A and B are shown apart, each in its own frame.
Chain A
């Protein structure tokens, strides 16, 4: 069966510090991978998505970057965090094939930048 792991679950970082959130998927190959952010009181905003190794699309200009060094690994990074980077970050994966689509989400990371 497929599983998605996202860590850490919570993170408190000072302004100006770096960030690295990791997401890995097991039990499938060549998934589509996504990073979303949910700011307080708002919906989910698509930050990055990837259809393959080294292929990253950014949806909004920001202080963050994403990388996909391996097929089932997706990393969200920042060199210097801003207060506005606080929020709930969600990794997701999907694969389309056959007669059914599948969507799965990680458990999320609550990031507080102080």
Chain B
């Protein structure tokens, strides 16, 4: 069995300040991990993915995430938030049988 927990349903930051979206997972299999972003009225877009290579993964739009096996975490970060980063973010784990499990989502709000 596998599961994903996004620890914050809402995160609010000021433009230009760092972003941290937290994700913890559980899996009895060596997982692949992903972060997706969903802007209002749009589909899901892949930000980055971890597939057992480098533990620090760089994605699009300045986002990156670090896989920490000891902490079973895959937190998403960005040094400086932009207004266009306001969206819903999903952490996803892919385990045995290629099953995808999504976290509950984190809504990121960026204040001017």
Set of chain B residues within 8 Å of A44, measured between Cβ atoms: 90, 102, 105
Give complex CA distance A51, B46 in Å. Answer: 22
Which chain B residues in 56-112 approach chain A with CB under 8 Å? 90, 94, 97-105
Interface size class of A (residues with CB under 8 A): 20 to 34
Q: How close is A93's CB to chain B, nearest CB, in angstroms?
A: 10
The verdict on B44 contacting chain A, using a C-beta distance below 8 Å, is yes
Cβ contact within 8 Å between B105 and A49: no
| Interface of B (DSSP majority class) | strand
B30 within 8 A of A: no
The reply to whether the CB of A13 lies closer than 8 angstroms to some CB of chain B is: no
> Can you list 21 residue pairs at the A/B interface with Cβ under 8 Å?
A32-B98, A36-B100, A42-B104, A42-B105, A43-B90, A43-B103, A44-B90, A44-B102, A44-B105, A45-B102, A46-B99, A46-B100, A51-B97, A51-B98, A57-B97, A90-B43, A90-B44, A94-B94, A96-B98, A101-B51, A105-B43
- Give me the interface of B with A, judged by CB distance under 8 Å: 6, 32, 34, 43-44, 46, 49, 51, 90, 94, 97-105
Interface residues of A (CB under 8 A from B): 32, 34, 36, 42-46, 49, 51, 57, 90, 92, 94, 96, 100-101, 103, 105-108
